[in-house]
Amino acid sequence: MYAGLVVGLVIAVLASLTLGYKIYSLEQVWQALFAFDGSETAVVIANLRLPRAVIAPLVGAGLGIAGVLVQTLSRNRIASPDTLGLNAGASVAVVMASAVFGVGSLLGLSLAAAAGALATSMLVFLLAATAGGLSPIRIVLIGVTVAGLGNSIVQIILTTNEAQLQQLLFWLSGAFVDRPMALVQSGAPIILVGALIAIALARTLDALQADDSTATGLGVPLVLVRGASFLSVSLLTGAAVSMAGPVGFVGLVVPHAARWLVGLRHKLLIPAAALIGAVYATTADIAARFVIYPVEAPVGAITAVVGAMVLLILLKRRAA
């Protein structure tokens, strides 16, 4: 099963390198990457196609793992980094770091996004705990409210800082196009750290799927595990936003596909979600190039349409 996902990811990445407004052959891709001659074709492939073919699977993998952790922590299958406001929190941090504090480095913006996601996750769960307990529905409602507030703050800052508008829109468009490879150097290590934390927590996360008393009886240190999980989600979401902007609903869709394939054990679920998320984000990026061809649609629009359909189906099942 994992081998099939890896093959699918390789095919998706090769398709990302070859397909677009202009279609290139695999031979042209090989020559551009390993025998760069400075031609227009080589420049487009190496400087435009390659970064998005690398960033898309990284972002998809990060958001896929983050979605698994969020749904386990909240014990809610309709929770995701989007519905909990983490994407919005990371976006607010990036915007404020750039427009208010003058942060311009890629690493600085990446760290700001991770910090914003961490602060938002802590705020959502703190508000839920103080409002009557960590009810799944309560967590989602508070998360959606925080997301709306965060998006409003972003709009206010954009309106009052016209000089920063173009640079900020670059981060907030939710796309993989026109992203420099330098973003991978700053974002990939953060995603790797977040993924390693999630993998280290796999066995305790299995116990956390039950109620708190059961998890405690099994010897799970709830505060430590939740804190480490929040850190992992924040790093994964923050790095994804710093590289591609708020690409929505990936963290909602991917965990359901992963559970359908491998079940509920996080030892299997986390790597499956990473691979499925990578394939999903890369495929969505390819679809975005053709859905309104010859104009390219934001990849966030593609993932939002799919995610909204999945969310409606899940809500209908819960109401049935």
pLDDT tens digit sequence for 105-153: 766 777 788 788 888 888 888 887 787 666 666 777 888 899 899 989 8
Question: Domain holding 185: CATH number?
Answer: 1.10.3470.10
- The pLDDT value recorded for residue 167 is 65
Task: Report the share of the chain in percent with pLDDT over 90.
Answer: 36
Window from 75-79, 130-134, 275-279, 307-311 with minimum mean pLDDT: 130-134
What number is the average pLDDT over the span 30-44? 90
Asked, for residue 264, whether it belongs to a domain, the answer is yes
Cis peptide before 294 (omega within 30 of 0): yes
> Domain limits at 87?
54-319
- The pLDDT value recorded for residue 166 is 66
Q: For residue 318, is pLDDT > 70?
A: no
Asked, for residue 22, whether it belongs to a domain, the answer is no
- The pLDDT value recorded for residue 163 is 64
Q: For residue 274, is pLDDT > 90?
A: yes
Which of 133, 85, 117 lies closest to 248, judged by CA?
85
pLDDT tens digit sequence for 242-253: 888 888 889 999
Please tell me whether residue 292 adopts helix, strand or coil conformation. Answer: strand
Give me the number of domains the chain comprises: 1
- The pLDDT value recorded for residue 171 is 67
Asked, for residue 23, whether it belongs to a domain, the answer is no
pLDDT tens digit sequence for 79-97: 888 888 888 898 888 888 8
Cα separation, 156 vs 107, in Å, equals 25
Please tell me whether residue 316 adopts helix, strand or coil conformation. Answer: helix
What number is the average pLDDT over the span 292-319? 80
Asked, for residue 21, whether it belongs to a domain, the answer is no
